[in-house]
A and B are shown apart, each in its own frame.
Chain A
Amino acid sequence: MSLTLADVHRIAQLARIQISDEQAQATAAQLNDIFAMIETIAQVDTSGVEPMTHPLDGVQRLREDAVEASLPLEELLRNAPAQRDGLFLVPRVIE
């Protein structure tokens, strides 16, 4: 399995990371090395083995659906690149 330039561009688009053709080229080569190393897991017999997503097989704990105190809005907006009236500003999405 070898990644093509088109594959890298497609993944980059999914990951919302802009990438030039030269970067995609270099990345494809590195990713192919990494995937060659990863391929070894394909040979392992895992029939009847459940996937493990939590090392202690923990279960998602849920809290009561009750309103709790939160941080003041001004503090949460302090790091915003652009904001107005308590809202984060982004380029217009809908014309």
Chain B
Amino acid sequence: MTEIAHAGLAQLARLLEQREVSAVELAQLYLQRIERHRALNAFLDVRSEATLQQARAADGRRARGERGALLGMPIAHKDIFVTRGWASTAGSRMLEGYMSPFDATVVERLAAAGMVCLGKLNCDEFAMGSSNENSAFGNVLNPWDTAAVPGGSSGGSAAAVAARLTPAATATDTGGSIREPAAFSGVTGVKPTYGRPSRWGMIAFASSLDTAGLLAASAEDCALVFNSMLGFDPHDSTSVQRPDEDFTRSLQLDPRGLRVGVPAQFFTQGLRPDVEAVVRAALEVLQRLGAELIQIELPNAPLGIPVYYVVAPAEASSNLSRFDGVRYGHRARVFDDLNDMIRKSRAEGFGPEPKRRILIGTYVLSHGYYDAYYLKASRVRRLIAEDFRRAFQRCDIIAGPVTSSVAFNFGEKAADPVSMYLADLFTVPGSLAGVPALSIPCGLGESGRPVGLQLIGNHFDEARLLGVAHRYQLATDWHRRVPAGY
């Protein structure tokens, strides 16, 4: 059965279609694996009966003649998406035990397609973090090396896919929270264009940056799920309206003549030699496939981190103001009056990182500082976005590293917020510009830890982006590797 667990989504879909395995059998297989590997702490809420009920329903739909690549296919959701049948905590004590009265649109769409929910995945609190060391419910371990972080904020999603506890996992990327854990955990992670996936039911961190996406074993698998996952949602005020499209349509693209932009700013001193060597080897593979490498400039990209750490906390301070102990979430037990209740509820419910970001955000939005910080950062954000627009006039896609190093050890950066923030160096520029971007495994670096190759596309060019990734994955097998013991 291990071979089935190691199979990608496309292969599992064939097995389901040919009735070689049922949705119930698949669900049981993955539930057993999740239980066996509980030490990874990837899952926060697992309810076998609820999962099997969904699996039985999917088998029923198939028995009545329904078809579909995702019918009966297991999926797990990052705990940032609200779900009716499982608790939704966003990795925080603020929402411990919270049972949502509705499902996030992304969850609903995948359920409608017949996907079977295995449970909720651990993450950094309110999606704030790069190592999953900020979850109120404990660290997630990296299956490749349990002394290493899996990355964050979607650490649970990445670890679960890496250990094949689920064939795919939803996740969110605000500053790199899909791409970075995908790179650290040796799996494929894709962040679509901002506005493509619905934010309805996604516990908000930074509204102009939050983008739902997916982690899976391959780009092809992500493309399959995107066909059901992405799309206009009237509930989401920033949801983009575009004609329906098939994200698998360019998987067989011809890479000959493809212009691949390599940003000089992503290959600076900060990039560790082991990562650089592996990423450059991956670029050579693209060249051998017929792509043309072009040196490009993203001159304002180095400003991405300071801009992000003004804009994201500002938006977070606004979004997290809803957590006041009044209507839901943690309420303090002892207080003098309403103001005291609110101040204590928030002090008790939030962990150190959300508190830090709320305070930064409050400061940069406050009277006297708004122009110098928030408005200024918003202007620099446009410069960064313009860099991408100009670059895409000279190239079709952009390629480079995802992170400056392989996964670091637990505790290594936890004491120094700034050094932790720098983990997002190569991912935040794409986030600020709202462009689609992904990470695919491209080799192993120091200590045998995975390295990711980042591919960035122009707005709405996901199909081509996935096609290039798929081409690379046809020519290599890094994405098929599963760590020993899983």
Contact = CB atoms under 8 A, between A and B. Distances in A.
The yes or no verdict on A and B being binding partners is: yes
Interface of A: 3, 7-8, 11-12, 14-19, 27, 30-31, 33-35, 37-42, 44, 46, 49-56, 58, 60-61, 63, 71, 75-76, 78-82, 88, 90-93
Given A15-B317, A80-B327, A38 B306 contact: yes
Contact of A14 (B310, B362, B435): B362
B199 interface: no
Contacts of B380: 41, 44, 46, 49
A78 B99 contact: yes
Nearest to B459: A56
> In the complex, which of the residues A15, A35, A60, A91 has the most CB atoms of chain B within 10 Å of its own CB atom?
A15
A37 B305 contact: yes
Contact of B376 (A46, A76, A80): A46
Given A46-B380, A52-B382, A41 B326 contact: no
B285 interface: no
B328 A79 contact: yes
B359 A40 contact: no
Interface of B: 98-99, 101-102, 193-195, 208-209, 234, 237-238, 240, 300, 303, 305-307, 309-310, 317, 321, 324-329, 331, 335, 337-344, 346-347, 350, 355-356, 358-360, 362-363, 366, 372-373, 375-383, 385, 416-418, 421, 432-435, 459
Contacts of A80: 327-328
Contacts of A79: 98-99, 327-329
Contacts of A14: 362, 366
B485 to A, nearest CB: 38
A34 B366 contact: no
B306 A30 contact: no
Nearest to A8: B359
Contacts of B325: 81
B379 A46 contact: yes
B382 A81 contact: no
Nearest to A47: B379
Given A18-B343, A38-B309, 7 more contacts: A16-B324, A18-B347, A50-B382, A51-B378, A71-B101, A76-B101, A93-B337
Contact of B309 (A3, A18, A34, A63): A34
Given A18-B347, A44-B383, A56 B418 contact: no
B385 A17 contact: no
A44 B382 contact: no
Contact of A11 (B208, B338, B359): B359
Contact of A37 (B309, B339, B359): B309
B355 A50 contact: no
Contacts of A3: 363
A64 B222 CA distance: 35
A29 to B, nearest CB: 10
Given A41-B303, A46-B380, A51-B382, A12 B359 contact: yes
A55 B309 contact: no
